[in-house]
Chain A
């Protein structure tokens, strides 16, 4: 459960988000909008990476302002550029790195890493240098590094922007199978077809909110 109550975000003289009040309970929520409309900021507020100037954001019953660290343990975040998320030299080590502060034994870590890599088709690349993977494989690795932590909510900020069609499809299929609540910020409208709810942002305000078909229609008109 994610709740925004009269959230404003101001950066310098610019209102990035204005008066956002929302309750997100659906399993699949999409966020669309033009560049600079505030959609990435909205996503970052959920993970506690950004803080509201006024208003409150509550995730799983916790206020992000007071419990950001706790919320980050429950809310995974996937960024657009996987290169910025990969920390360790090899694939398996990067996934294992996420578990470093979990107090698990080496055997448990190896087991969870093996499971997540197998599930997402990267088991054969476990010992490969991470920087030599293709863009799509890097994004999958970044996703594995988030999913190994078993987050209850997953936020994805333009996860397919840097991917080719084939890898975009892989991410879309994977997304459909995830048991978590997922909030996806995207320009890839096809990704949202099967979603439960889509929000359209324009100049920091929600201008449409509903099923994908109606919300995306509204967005297309807004952009034309």
Chain B
């Protein structure tokens, strides 16, 4: 979900958000049902073609998979040891392809369109007290918080290095949590100031 929209004019960019989410659900279901290496190779080619058609570029595509590399490696090794090579390849490929497809949806969909889609999805829950706007706002703030918390973590680490402090989880976590809470406070106040707590 942290993949950010890459402007473009491809067919995927023009598809409505609901169609892409539906496509993602169907594709992931198909992915789970595919058991053979040949079928998964074909599916991999399909995903690669979708990326080419979208025109988002290799860097953006790799950025979707990259965070998964260590997890994929551990998963592959464990599956290989316990279940053998074929199962290890199939399981790992399934996860990587599912993440790649989800990444493609976020790369080709404006976040505002995704928010509108989620608001529509949660609309029927209005009757039981769920505010769809607040749910989509929560989602938006979660996505927006990723680069902010990452920047805070970098700042804390740099401050430690400047003071010659070697790695210490406590010395890292406490200022990071305090900064994150301060940021949350300021963000809440800014949302109020923008009239979004009415």
B11, CB-defined interface residue at 8 Å? no
Which chain A residues border B191 with CB–CB below 8 Å? 87
| Interface status of B74 (Cβ within 8 A of chain A) | no
Quick one: which of B110, B133, B196, B197 contacts A90, CB cutoff 8 A?
B110
The 0/1 profile, CB within 8 Å of B marked 1, for residues 121-137 of chain A is 00000010111000000
- Which B residues touch A81, using CB under 8 A? 186
Interface band, chain B: 20 to 34
* Contact call A127/B5, Cβ cutoff below 8 A: yes
As a 0/1 sequence over residues 84 to 104 of chain A, the CB contacts with chain B under 8 angstroms (1 = contact) are 111111100100111011000
Distance in angstroms between the alpha carbons of A97 and B151 in the assembled complex: 23
Contacting pair A101 B133 (CB below 8 A): yes
Identify the stretch in A69-77, A159-167, A196-204 within 8 Å (CB) of chain B at 4 or more residues: A69-77
- Provide the main secondary structure of the chain B interface: helix
B86 partner residues in chain A, CB cutoff 8 A = none
Apart from A83-B151, A90-B111, what are 19 other A-B pairs with CB-CB below 8 Å?
A: A49-B189, A49-B193, A72-B192, A72-B195, A73-B195, A77-B193, A79-B190, A81-B186, A84-B189, A84-B190, A85-B194, A86-B144, A90-B110, A93-B110, A98-B194, A101-B133, A131-B144, A145-B194, A146-B194
- Interchain nearest-CB distance for A59 vs B (Å): 13
CA distance A84 to B191 in the complex (A): 9
Give the distance to chain A from B56, nearest Cβ to Cβ, in Å. 13
Task: Given A98-B194, A149-B195, check contact A90 B183 (CB 8 Å).
Answer: no
Q: Across the interface, which residues of A come within 8 angstroms of B194, CB to CB?
A: 72, 85, 98, 145-146, 149
Our pick among A96, A129, A149 for the contact of B112 (Cβ within 8 Å) is: A96
| Interface membership of chain A positions 5-18, coded 1 if the CB is closer than 8 angstroms to chain B and 0 otherwise | 00000000000000
Interface status of A47 (Cβ within 8 A of chain B): yes
Chain B contacts with A in 151-198, Cβ cutoff 8 A: 151, 183, 186-187, 189-198
